[in-house]
């Protein structure tokens, strides 16, 4: 990994912040911010060493003495020269225009899955009410990634946004699944836990804040294992405490899914919304295959994986509540409907005896199939 610095003379500074891209494989994050020096300063962190001439050529092509002053932060995870140039042009063009609004697919709906975490939060909230808390301008990098040779991201992969849903004060907490697979570290976990704690304080003061979690995560970040686990424990505690005041709604849309300790967080929520592309499970397919063998669980067999942990089977077996298409408008409607309903009398995670009775009825010698699992849980629900 290499850290580089470049500077150019410039004119009067830009007057707004622009961010494009993500620190995902073959991509990069670019952040443009105003400064007071009428110059262009570029701080670059890249996972690929010995490319200073390439970066110099890219910047020389885009910046000169007539360019507006700005502070540029770039976090690169192995982007090709073509991607680097396109991302920089994209960022500079947004200085003079608004980002392109999300448009409908050929099928007539707006894809929720194709949105980033920030756009998802903005779409769930009422139009014009989005206000990000601890956004990119705070440069809330994880302090533990760079020493381990991992390029960080300015928001550490977590987005916290305040606003309203159907006019009700709300906070939407989203995880960026493109950064480290959505894994939770100290900073991202602390942002999420603090947002839940502040919502709890509002509720106790008689000013309930609706809470929506948008989860795309493999669980704890291995580079920050203990710190990530501690943060996830705080998230769990926050969800449980909030449930007696407001419904805590969770959406898992895909394509990362929700696994590990954060799948427990999803299970603790009052209501859980899944799409066809979503997956929900304590252990990911590769982990199960590694421990039980490919004969038991083939992680490359995608239809097999989704038949057990996909959105449709999870709703059918009672582990989630609402099954939706990849339709942003429909997801927003479902969220609004949940927050306008009375609090559930009993949370799913409190129905211990019910789930134990289902497991007790299962024939442990019989090979599990999607049909068999649905049979047992549908029968258990009818007897509950």
Tokens of 145: 């990634």
Give the tens place of pLDDT for each residue, 188-204: 999 999 999 999 999 99
Segment 79-98 mean pLDDT: 92
Q: How confident is the model at residue 382 (pLDDT cuts 50, 70, 90)?
A: very low
Q: How confident is the model at residue 101 (pLDDT cuts 50, 70, 90)?
A: low
The predicted model scores a pTM of 0.92
- How many independent structural domains does the chain possess? 2
Mean pLDDT of the chain: 93
Segment 378-383 mean pLDDT: 53
Give the tens place of pLDDT for each residue, 246-285: 999 999 998 899 999 999 999 999 999 999 999 999 998 9
CA 175 to chain centre: 2
CB burial class (10 A; 0-12, 13-18, 19+) of residue 261?
Answer: buried
- Residues 373/307, Cβ–Cβ less than 8 Å: no
Question: Per the domain annotation, does 153 fall within a domain?
Answer: yes
Burial 102-130 (b: 16+ CB within 10 A, else e): eeeeeeeebbbbebbbbbbbbbbbeeeeb
Of 65, 96, 127, the residue that ends a domain is 96
Per-residue model confidence (pLDDT) at position 383: 42
Residue 169, pLDDT above cutoff 90: yes
* Domain match, 77 and 32 both: yes
Question: Per the domain annotation, does 62 fall within a domain?
Answer: yes
* Per-residue H/E/C for the chain: CEEEEEEEECEEECCCCEEECCCCCCCEEEEEECCCCCEEEEEEEECCCCCHHHHHHHHHHHCCCCCEEEEEEEEECCCCHHHHHHHHHHHHHHCCCCCCCCCCCCCCCCCCCCCCHHHHHHHHCCCCCCEEECCHHHCCCCCCCHHHCCCCCCCCCEEEEEEEECCEEEEEEEECCCCHHHCECHHHHHHHHHHHHHHHHHHHCCCCCEEEEECCECCECHHHHHHHHHHHHHHHHHHHHHCCCCCEEEEECCCCCECCHHHHHHHHCCEEEEECCCEECCCCHHHHHHHHCCCCCCCCCHHHHHHHHEHHHHHHCCCCCEEECCCHHHHHHHHHHHHCCCCCCCCHHHCHHHHHHHHHHCCCCCCCCHHHHHHHHHHHHHHC
Report in angstroms the alpha-carbon separations of 240 from 270, 312, 339: 9, 26, 16
* Domain match, 39 and 130 both: no
* Cis before 255? omega within 30: yes
In the chain, % of residues over pLDDT 90? 84
Question: Per the domain annotation, does 312 fall within a domain?
Answer: yes
In the chain, % of residues over pLDDT 70? 96
Q: How confident is the model at residue 99 (pLDDT cuts 50, 70, 90)?
A: low
Per-residue model confidence (pLDDT) at position 384: 40
* Domain match, 43 and 146 both: no
Q: How confident is the model at residue 366 (pLDDT cuts 50, 70, 90)?
A: confident
Which one has a higher pLDDT value, 297 or 215? 215
Tokens of 278: 């979503």
Segment 27-37 mean pLDDT: 95
Question: How far is Cα 289 from Cα 300, in angstroms, rounded to an integer?
Answer: 10
Per-residue model confidence (pLDDT) at position 103: 61
* Domain match, 42 and 126 both: no
Domain of 25 in residue numbering reads as 2-96
Residue 6, pLDDT above cutoff 80: yes
Residue 378, pLDDT above cutoff 90: no
Give the tens place of pLDDT for each residue, 333-353: 999 999 999 998 889 999 999
Q: How confident is the model at residue 67 (pLDDT cuts 50, 70, 90)?
A: very high
Question: Per the domain annotation, does 144 fall within a domain?
Answer: yes
Per-residue model confidence (pLDDT) at position 97: 84
Segment 27-38 mean pLDDT: 94
* Domain match, 123 and 83 both: no
- Residues 344/283, Cβ–Cβ less than 8 Å: no
Domain at 63, CATH number = 3.30.230
Tokens of 123: 């779409």
Residue 237, pLDDT above cutoff 50: yes
Question: Per the domain annotation, does 384 fall within a domain?
Answer: no
* Domain match, 152 and 84 both: no
């Amino acid at each position: 990994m290499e850290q580089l610095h470049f500077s150019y003379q410039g004119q009067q500074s830009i007057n707004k912040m622009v961010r494009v891209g993500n620190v995902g494989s073959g991509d990069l994050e670019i952040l443009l911010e105003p400064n007071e020096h009428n110059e262009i300063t570029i701080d670059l962190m890249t996972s690929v060493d010995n490319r200073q001439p390439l970066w110099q050529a890219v910047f020389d092509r885009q910046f000169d003495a007539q360019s507006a002053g700005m502070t540029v932060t770039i976090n690169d995870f192995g982007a090709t020269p073509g991607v680097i140039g396109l991302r920089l042009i994209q960022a500079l063009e947004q200085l003079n225009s608004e980002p392109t609004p999300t448009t409908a697919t050929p099928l007539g709906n707006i894809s929720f899955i194709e949105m980033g975490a920030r756009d998802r939060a903005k779409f769930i909230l009422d139009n014009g009410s989005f206000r990000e808390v601890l956004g990119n301008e705070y440069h809330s990098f994880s302090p533990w990634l760079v020493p381990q040779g991992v390029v960080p991201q300015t928001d550490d992969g977590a987005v916290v946004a305040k606003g309203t849903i159907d006019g009700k004060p709300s906070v939407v907490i989203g995880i960026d699944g493109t950064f480290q697979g959505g894994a939770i570290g100290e900073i991202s976990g602390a942002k999420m836990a603090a947002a839940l704690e502040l919502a709890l304080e509002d509720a106790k003061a008689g000013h309930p804040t609706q809470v929506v979690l948008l989860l795309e995560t493999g669980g704890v970040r291995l580079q920050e294992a203990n710190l990530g686990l501690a943060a996830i424990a705080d998230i769990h505690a926050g969800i449980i405490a909030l449930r007696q005041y407001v419904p805590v709604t969770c959406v898992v849309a895909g394509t990362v899914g929700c696994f590990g300790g954060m799948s427990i967080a999803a299970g603790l929520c009052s209501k859980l919304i899944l799409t066809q592309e979503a997956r929900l499970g304590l252990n990911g397919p590769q982990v199960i295959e590694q421990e039980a063998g490919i004969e038991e669980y083939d992680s490359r067999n995608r239809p097999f994986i989704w038949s057990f942990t996909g959105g449709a089977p999870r709703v059918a077996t009672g582990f989630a509540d609402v099954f939706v298409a990849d339709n942003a408008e429909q997801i927003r409607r479902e969220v609004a409907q949940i927050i306008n309903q009375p609090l559930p009398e009993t949370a799913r995670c409190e129905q211990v005896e019910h789930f134990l009775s289902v497991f007790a009825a299962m024939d442990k010698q019989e090979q599990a199939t999607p049909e068999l699992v649905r049979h047992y849980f549908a029968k258990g629900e009818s007897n509950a």
